[in-house]
Structure 1
Amino acid sequence: MSTRRHPQPPGEGPGLPDDLAAGLALQIHNLGRRLDELDGLPTRVDDVTRLVGQLTDTVTAVAARRGPAPAPSWLMAPGDPQEVRSLLDQLCAWLAAIFLRYPDGASCLPECWLWHPDVVEELLWLMHAWGNAYQGAGASVGAAGDWHDRQRPGVVNRIRRSAGSCSREAHQTRQGWSRPQSAAPDVPGTDGLDAVADWWATRREDAAPEPADPTGGDDRR
């Protein structure tokens, strides 16, 4: 005759194996640590969102702030006659509208200014400086004041010194007349390029090498 076994009350049955209980305890402990780490997550997400918003605003502002355009150089102008003529047309329009309105500007500019590359170079950059001061992205009262107080008077003075007394006739070939320099001059001293390059690259702490005698002799004792 079999003996009926009554069901055991909850909590009174045989316990879990020790290794299984230990594993569950470790998992519960690790889960608790992860939950603790997530306590500050909403705050960190809010901080990241705020920083991303600030970065977006900064990038947008930088992208919208265009820098001033570089001034073209007459001395380094392209070899296309149409592009060069376009530069001159723009410059002449600006001279008539702005530069020649100033009495000292009108009096300093000789009729042969086009035959003076240095004068054209000065006027080109001055035109672009005016554009940046009055019409560019960085236009300001301070930039306009600097153009009036420093840049324009400086160009006027240099033009007056270099070409103020010149004339178109001075650029014509006539017997007994000396013509002003208009071609690019030779760079002086190029016979010493190798010696100076070697000195500066390898022993610049020493005294510079003596230049060669331009007559071809050697009078060093």
Structure 2
Amino acid sequence: MSANTPPANPGAGDEGGWSGPVAGLARLVDGLRRDVDPLTGLPGRVDELAEVMARLSETVASVATRRNASPAPTWLLAPETPDDTANLLDDLTAWLGAIYLRYPDGLAALPDCWLWHPDVVEELVWLMHAWSAAYQGPAASVALAGDWHDRQRPGVVRRIRANHGSCSIERHRDGPGRPPITTGRPDIPGRDQISEIAAWWATARDYAPPEPAELVSEGAWT
């Protein structure tokens, strides 16, 4: 061998030479790559899981909100104070004029003596709050509005007609006199006696209700 000829690579093919550590490192990198490859889609799956959890949290919060919402007032268990009952009737009559009596069957089925029937007032109070929940509440939705139109309102109309459809304000009078029958634009029956009915329901609901105003003296009870 000439003195100018470089020696053969002493580590070629020899694990103990310089190529041995490089080959081992290559095998280690290759093994790590095989281990990591299945995890390449993990960030996307984590994002999907986070989205599912977010939707679930929103659903739970919505259910909790509906469950914890303030209950609708009830006429049958209204506070025994004239101001509270008068306020409730004021809200109800405003809603009747704006919403309920716009429906011909509702107008036709509501007797003019509706204020003298606690069950009718109760039906209308809860129906008013069902309408508010469907159109104005935090969980308002087209589905709730559809249920109000398709099931709730017709059910109230049907029960009022079945239970009191033949009643009238004259049947609540003990005296012989009757007020003149008027026609024209529909009005809220008995509106002028709301305060009197409210006071009766607040303080004397276990006794007979007041007669229509034309037949009794001011402040009288039967």
TM-score by length of 2: 0.51
| Cα pair 1:114 1:120 within 8 Å, conserved | yes
Q: Which residue type is aligned with residue 144 of structure 1?
A: A
Q: Specify the alignment match of 1:104 in structure 2.
A: 105
Give the Cα separation in 1 of the matches to 2:165 and 2:132. 25
Q: Structure 1's 100 and 93: CA in aligned 2 closer, same or farther, altered over 3 A?
A: same
The change in CA–CA distance for 1:174 and 1:148 in structure 2 (over 3 A counts) is same
**Aligned ranges 1:1-150 → 2 under 5 Å:** 58=57, 62=61, 66-67=65-66, 68-150=69-151
- The CA distance in 1 between the partners of 2:140 and 2:57, in whole Å, is 21
Residues in 1 aligned to 2:63 and 2:103: alpha-carbon distance in whole angstroms:
35
Computed over aligned residues only, the root mean square deviation of the Cα atoms, in angstroms, reads 3.1
2:115 counterpart letter in structure 1: L
Task: State whether residues 65 and 137 of structure 1, in contact with CA within 8 Å, keep that contact through their aligned partners in structure 2.
Answer: no
Aligned length: 128
Distance in 2 (alpha carbons) for counterparts of 1:108 and 1:63: 36
Aligned to 2:146, the other structure's residue is in SS state helix
Moved over 4 A (4+): 182-185
Where 1:66 maps in the other structure, the secondary structure is helix
Q: Pick 1 or 2: higher relative contact order, CA cutoff 8 A, min separation 6.
A: 2
Deviation at 1:133, TM superposition (A): 0.5
CA distance in structure 2 between the aligned counterparts of 1:64 and 1:157, rounded to whole angstroms: 31
| Equivalent-residue separation in structure 2 for 1:127 and 1:109 (angstroms) | 15
**Aligned residue for 1:29?**
none
Unaligned ranges ≥5, structure 2:
1-49, 177-200, 208-222
Separation (CA, whole Å) in 1 of partners of 2:170 and 2:137: 39
Task: Call closer, same or farther: CA 1:118–1:130 in 2, change over 3 Å.
Answer: same
Contact 2:109 2:165 in 1 (8 A): yes
Deviation for aligned residue 1:184: 6.2
Where 1:76 maps in the other structure, the secondary structure is coil
Deviation at 1:65, TM superposition (A): 6.6
Contact 2:62 2:139 in 1 (8 A): no
Equivalent AA in structure 1 for residue 129 of structure 2? H
- Shift, 1:174, TM fit: 4.1
How many angstroms apart in 2 are the aligned matches of 1:153 and 1:69? 25
Judged with a 3 Å threshold, the aligned counterparts in structure 2 of structure 1 residues 140 and 63 are, in CA distance, closer, same or farther, namely closer
How far residue 69 of structure 1 moved from its aligned partner, in angstroms, is 3.1
Distance 2:99 2:166 in 1: 22
CA distance in 2 between partners of 1:154 and 1:146 (Å): 11
1:154 corresponds to 2:148: no
Identity %: 58
Deviations 1:99-156 (A, max 9, x none): 0000000000111100000000000000000000011111111100000000000000
Equivalent AA in structure 1 for residue 73 of structure 2: P
Q: 1:158 to 1:64 in 2, by over 3 A?
A: closer
Q: Distance in 2 between matches of 1:63 and 1:148?
A: 23
Q: Distance in 2 between matches of 1:70 and 1:136?
A: 12
| One-letter amino acid of the counterpart of residue 164, structure 2 | A
The residue that corresponds to 1:209 in the other structure is none
> CA–CA distance in 2 between the matches of 1:155 and 1:129?
12
Counterparts of 2:164 and 2:79 in 1: how far apart (Å)? 25
Deviations 1:140-186 (A, max 9, x none): 111000000000000000000111111111001148xxxxxx9769x
